[in-house]
Structure 1
Amino acid sequence: MRRSAAVDAPAHTVAAVLREPSTLVRALAGAGVRARVSDTVGRLLVPGDEVRLGFPFSPWMVPTWLRVVRATPNGMRVVLVRGLWRELTVEASLTELGGRTELVAEFRGTAAFGAASRRSVEHALDTVVREIGAVAQDWAGRRVVVGAAIVHDGLLLTQQRRFPVADAGRWELPGGRVEPGESEVDAVVRECNEELGVGVAVDGGVAAGGSGGATSRVGTDVPLEPDSVLRIHRARLLDPSEVPRPIEHRRLRWVGAAELGELDWLEADRVLVHSLRLMEA
């Protein structure tokens, strides 16, 4: 069973909406499917997170549990953990073409409930694809906050907040808001100079003044309250001998992939940890 739609938003934005729990729960509710995620799930679903579904045709309302096994800028895949289904996989694939994204959602499963199950799934798939498209188009117009994933000798540069009080001691990547008339790449360069006192270049062969290419982006967009999205770009020190300084933060730390999970990240950065681990050193 397959559904597709053309969405007026970049693939990194559509991929983020696919992973946003409240959008998923709301869309499924509109199709009569009860969905619930754990309180420990962050702003976006990441591999290992589970979603509980209650289909209207399921006898005794026995829940179906699905687990996220893939979440990338190219789409998402969830598989059956337990429930009355014999098999169940849902996969969403994204292809960006000229600023628009082709979203293809495919459902593969076998249930013992006959035609009622198929009608319910078809309705749910239609509703979810439609809702994702609408939300993604809204997010595409949000203000942008950039972050820099600066890699040097296989290590990632992180910084520890000293204010505000609620966030003091937590970790994040360097970055900040894109100013009016400024590109994402130029914002990354400016923010790193202001926060670290060093010059950086965005990876991927993207010149200053550009928005950043597919090879410079790390992970998907991340929603920020009330009306912004966070976009991470991979960067490198222009002068490898230059030492970054914690101008606005408590301290800096270079970490390897195995150490990423040890840090007490700000919530917006935490959901990107699995993507940061996948970066090539």
Structure 2
Amino acid sequence: MPAYRATALVDAPVASVAGALRSVDVLRRVHGVDVPARPEGLLQAQDVVRLRGLALRVTRAGLDGMAAQRQSGVRPLTGCTSTLVATGAGVLLTTELRWAAPLGRRGVVGALERWTQAVAAEAVRLRDAREVVAGAVVRQGHLLLARRTWPVALAGRWELPGGGVDEGETPVAALARELEEELGLTVRVDEQLGADVGLPGGRVLRARWAELVEGEPQLREHSAVRWVDAHGLVSADLVPADRAWTAELAARLA
């Protein structure tokens, strides 16, 4: 099938662009696209996205390919390939559709342009959104998970611990503070993990690796904590937003 391409230069981090590609809200804003209505706003393997009569199935390989790297191939949908390239001016997003024939040239070009523009707009929104931080604390090949007690919809599910960034506070300082307040841990906060994740209320969730310096987890705000290996992570009942990083976390643990 013929392929058509559109490009956009986005003044946003690669992690924000990768997060935008993953967002269901982006698809909803593209004319003619119908997506599964899932409150956590994340595509999952085997979701079906419909565009003008075509059913496009999301692949696990496509989702796992969305890790935010300096240059990464991203396949959010079967038949749609996007590439992110970091430049001095921002991120160059190149999107290519290969299911052109059934839609017709005009329909494909229009859908491709709307898709690219929507991703770019969502990336800028994530870049500027109020930030919530989460910490990936790893010790001897095991990741620390904490079980939530609130809100009701998330109670009993496991998460990477963290919290909101206060006014005038840096994300690094906020994560160190939250882990000390919630779990009594002293950590050294490192680089960002994976893509940005859009949250309800216009916020953005970002995870960072955190090296444990001192302390053992204490139950101050959570009902339980546990250290899991890669198998335990995959089988854990994670909060929806944290599932975005499962593949990258499991690879680090392995």
User: Given the superposition, is the C-alpha separation of residues 99 and 275 from structure 1 closer, same or farther in structure 2, using an over 3 Å criterion?
Assistant: farther
State the shift of 1:42 in Å: 4.5
Partner of 1:170: 157
State the shift of 1:272 in Å: 2.8
SS at match of 2:41: coil
User: Given the superposition, is the C-alpha separation of residues 110 and 3 from structure 1 closer, same or farther in structure 2, using an over 3 Å criterion?
Assistant: closer
Letter in 2 for 1:53: R
SS at match of 2:136: strand
State the shift of 1:22 in Å: 2.4
Rounded to whole Å, the distance in 1 between the matches of 2:126 and 2:110 is 24
Rounded to whole Å, the distance in 2 between the matches of 1:275 and 1:40 is 22
Counterpart selection for 1:18 from 17, 21, 42: 21
Higher relative helix content: 2
State the shift of 1:270 in Å: 2.8
Alpha carbons 1:41, 1:49 under 8 Å: kept? no
User: Given the superposition, is the C-alpha separation of residues 170 and 258 from structure 1 closer, same or farther in structure 2, using an over 3 Å criterion?
Assistant: same
Partner of 1:52: 49
Question: Which deviations, in whole Å up to 9, do the C-alpha atoms of 1:36-55 show, x marking residues without a partner?
Answer: 33x56842224x24333233
1:3 aligns with 2:1: no
Alignment of 1:1-281 (within 5 A): 1-27=4-30, 29=31, 33-37=32-36, 39=37, 42-46=40-44, 48-55=45-52, 61=53, 63-68=54-59, 69-70=61-62, 71-73=66-68, 74=72, 76-78=74-76, 80=78, 89-98=79-88, 100-109=90-99, 111=101, 113=102, 117-203=104-190, 216-239=191-214, 242-279=215-252
TM-score for the superposition, normalised by structure 1: 0.78
- Paired residues, number: 244
SS at match of 2:104: helix
SS at match of 1:138: helix
Rounded to whole Å, the distance in 1 between the matches of 2:209 and 2:216 is 18
User: Given the superposition, is the C-alpha separation of residues 41 and 90 from structure 1 closer, same or farther in structure 2, using an over 3 Å criterion?
Assistant: farther
Task: Show structure 1 runs of 5+ residues with no match.
Answer: 56-60, 81-88, 204-215
SS at match of 2:128: coil
SS at match of 1:226: helix
Rounded to whole Å, the distance in 2 between the matches of 1:144 and 1:64 is 34
Give RMSD over aligned pairs: 2.3
User: Given the superposition, is the C-alpha separation of residues 35 and 164 from structure 1 closer, same or farther in structure 2, using an over 3 Å criterion?
Assistant: closer
Rounded to whole Å, the distance in 2 between the matches of 1:274 and 1:49 is 16
Alpha carbons 1:219, 1:276 under 8 Å: kept? no
Alpha carbons 1:149, 1:232 under 8 Å: kept? yes
State the shift of 1:233 in Å: 0.2
State the shift of 1:251 in Å: 1.3
State the shift of 1:20 in Å: 0.8
Percent identical: 36
State the shift of 1:196 in Å: 1.3
